């Protein structure tokens, strides 16, 4: 029985769409409990074939408002936590006779500006570079065993995160409902990202690659 791990599954989220796709493909999907924190790592079973990390925080602050605690939270979850989770997965599954796939959900803002999001953008840029470097290291130490990929969407329709962002645009940045609707016109859906997950599973041509999914990015 094929097993896959997906973090933080929430109704309407990208992680839920990915979980549903994996189950359609015949995987038994493992998810952590609601109190789980990515910084704790995870005790993966050695027969797990896929790890999908969608955990992340989008905290923002104006210049002069970033303190150690706030900045460290963003970096430790978005970057350090992803690295620790990857290490736990490799430690548990190295040597098993199939290609394992590691997928991290990043952000298009890993290579552009988001208002008051300097640390967030930096954490996602660091994640993208980590994926590229780890792809090389995995191929060096475990040739033919792993594919690690980053998926970096821009605006995505209908997710809990999208709704929070839309509320901020309306209440904090003075956007009208029409302007917010225009931002998300023609944007991708969680199911579109799940379709990309299906394409990269077990495909070593994608090892170390970062795939950017920018349609609908108008901010």
Query: Which residues, other chains included, contact 140 with Cβ-Cβ below 8 Å and sequence gap of 6+?
Result: none
Q: What pLDDT score was predicted for residue 166?
A: 55
Is 184 inside any structural domain? no
| Percent of the chain residues topping a pLDDT of 90 | 68
Rounded to 5 degrees, φ, ψ at 55 are -65, 145
> Domain for residue 163, yes or no?
no
Token couple for 90: 């490799």
How much is the average pLDDT of 174-199? 77
Residue 24 lies in a domain: yes
Domain-located, residue 106: yes
Residue 150 belongs to some domain of the structure: yes
Q: Which residues of 32-44 are buried (b: 16+ CB within 10 A; e: fewer)?
A: beeeeebeebbeb
**Do 217 and 155 contact (CB within 8 A), yes or no?**
yes
> Per the domain annotation, does 174 fall within a domain?
no
Residue 124, Cβ density class (10 Å: 0-12 exposed, 13-18 middle, ≥19 buried): buried
pLDDT single digits (tens) 192-211? 999 999 999 999 999 999 99
For the stretch 75-93, pLDDT in tens is 999 999 999 999 999 999 9
- pTM over 0.85? The answer is yes
User: Does 164 map to a domain?
Assistant: no
Q: Is residue 165 part of a domain?
A: no
pLDDT at 122 over 50: yes
Helices (H), the chain: 14-24, 68-75, 81-93, 118-141, 160-171, 177-183, 190-200
| Closest to 7 measured CA to CA, from 28, 35, 44, 38 | 38
| Predicted local distance difference test score (pLDDT) of residue 218 | 42
**What is the count of structural domains for the chain?**
1
CATH number, domain with residue 26? 3.40.50.720
**Which of 79, 131, 124 lies closest to 101 in space, CA to CA?**
131
Residue 108 has pLDDT above 90, yes or no: no
State the residue range of the domain holding 47: 3-156+189-213
């Amino acid at each position: 029985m094929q097993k896959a791990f997906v973090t933080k599954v929430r109704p309407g989220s990208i992680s839920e769409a990915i979980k549903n796709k994996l189950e359609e493909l015949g995987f038994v999907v493992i998810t952590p409990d609601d109190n789980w924190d990515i910084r704790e790592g995870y005790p993966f079973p050695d027969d797990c074939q896929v790890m999908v990390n969608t955990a992340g925080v989008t905290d923002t602050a104006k210049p002069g408002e970033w303190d150690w605690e706030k900045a460290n939270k963003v970096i430790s979850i978005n970057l350090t936590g992803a690295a620790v989770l990857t290490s736990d997965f490799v430690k548990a599954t190295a040597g098993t006779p199939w290609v394992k796939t590691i997928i991290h959900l990043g952000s298009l803002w890993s290579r552009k500006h988001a208002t008051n999001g300097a640390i967030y953008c930096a954490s996602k840029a660091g994640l993208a570079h980590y994926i590229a470097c780890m792809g090389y290291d995995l191929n060096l130490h475990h040739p033919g065993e792993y594919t690690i990929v980053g998926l970096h969407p821009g605006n995505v329709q209908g997710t809990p995160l999208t709704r929070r962002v839309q509320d901020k645009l309306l209440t904090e940045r003075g956007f009208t409902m029409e302007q917010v609707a225009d931002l998300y016109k023609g944007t991708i859906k969680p199911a579109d990202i799940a379709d990309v997950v299906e394409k990269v599973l077990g495909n070593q041509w994608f090892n170390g690659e970062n795939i950017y999914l920018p349609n609908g990015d108008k901010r």
